[in-house]
Amino acid sequence: MNAWLYILRCSDGSYYTGTTRNSLDMRVAQHNSGTFRGYTFLRRPVELRFAQPFDRITDAIAAERQIKGWSRAKKEALMKGDFALLQELARSRSPCPSSPQTSS
Looking at CATH, the fold of the domain delimited by 3-91 is given as GIY-YIG endonuclease (3.40.1440)
| Residues of the chain scoring pLDDT < 50 | 98-99, 102-104
pLDDT above 90: percentage of residues in the chain? 81
Where do the domains of the chain lie?
A: 3-91
SS3 per residue for 69-101: CCCHHHHHHHHHCCHHHHHHHHHCCCCCCCCCC
User: Considering the entire predicted model, what is its pTM?
Assistant: 0.85
